[in-house]
């Protein structure tokens, strides 16, 4: 093998290693339990201040400023928060107001359905009125949103777990 071939192999290995570091944990999960937390931000538990610390923003920033989207390593992330009006609609306790409700992560690299290894407990979910997307959702609060045309992963959604949602007046089949 020539020096040029070895150099190409070394570069290819380095690129693959770097790519593996960017892949979100649920995409490479081998069957262990999956948590609905993105880099430590967990729906209904983390606050805007937690998001500010993670993304390097001012802790006293308003929620709208901290919603994003933010460019992060491996893609783009957006946060939604449980507002006072949503808390009333969902019959959520006042203590949940201001907490992260959902985290949306859009990978910057192409991933298809065949590339995603789903741990046990993920179920396919299709909303009747949505002809563009379908989902794989688990009880822990992780959802994968796929484009029907091409089976491409569009978004990984970190949302409240089914157990947490049972205490709220949320009426949805797939994602929150």
Contact 137, 125 (CB under 8 A): yes
In the prediction, which pLDDT does 13 show?
A: 39
The 8-class DSSP code of residue 32 comes to S
**What's the pLDDT at 102?**
94
What per-residue confidence (pLDDT) applies to 120?
81
Residue 16 three-state SS: helix
User: Is 31 a residue whose pLDDT tops 50?
Assistant: no
Three-state secondary-structure class, residue 107? strand
Q: Is the pLDDT of residue 9 over 50?
A: no
The model carries a pTM of 0.77
By mean pLDDT, which of 21-25, 35-39, 112-116 is the weakest?
A: 21-25
Instruction: Give the mean model confidence (pLDDT) for residues 36-65.
Output: 84
Give the per-residue pLDDT at 5.
46
Residues of the chain with pLDDT > 70, as a percent, come to 74
Distance CA(173)–CA(121), nearest Å, equals 15
pLDDT at residue 61 greater than cutoff 90: no
Half-sphere exposure at residue 35, Cβ-oriented, CA atoms within 13 angstroms: 8
- Per-residue pLDDT tens digits for 62-101: 555 688 899 999 999 999 999 999 899 888 899 999 999 9
Beta bridge partners of 147: 133, 152
Residue 45 to residue 42: CA distance in whole angstroms = 6
- Provide the pLDDT for residue 76: 96
pLDDT average, residue stretch 118-126: 87
Q: Give 111-176 as a DSSP string.
A: -BGGG--PPTT-EEE--TT-SSEEEEE-TTSEEEEEETTTTEEEEEEE---HHHHHTS----SS--
Q: Across all residues in the chain, what is the average pLDDT?
A: 79
Report pLDDT for 10. 40
Helix (H) or strand (E) holding 62: none
């Amino acid at each position: 093998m020539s020096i040029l071939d070895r150099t190409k192999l070394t570069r290819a290995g380095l690129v693959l290693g770097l790519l593996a570091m960017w892949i979100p944990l649920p995409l490479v999960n081998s069957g262990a339990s999956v948590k609905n937390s993105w880099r430590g931000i967990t729906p209904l538990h983390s606050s805007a201040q937690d998001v500010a610390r993670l993304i390097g923003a001012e802790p006293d920033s308003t929620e709208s400023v901290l919603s994003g989207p933010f460019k992060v390593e491996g893609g783009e992330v957006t946060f939604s928060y449980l507002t006072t009006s949503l808390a009333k609609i969902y019959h959520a306790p006042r203590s949940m107001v201001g907490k992260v409700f959902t985290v949306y992560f859009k990978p910057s690299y192409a991933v298809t359905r065949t590339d995603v290894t789903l741990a046990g407990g993920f179920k396919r979910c299709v909303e009747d009125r949505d002809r563009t997307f379908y989902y794989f959702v688990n009880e822990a609060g992780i959802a994968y949103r796929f484009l029907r045309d091409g089976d491409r992963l569009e978004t990984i959604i970190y949302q409240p777990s089914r157990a947490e949602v049972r205490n709220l007046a949320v009426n949805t089949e797939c994602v929150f």
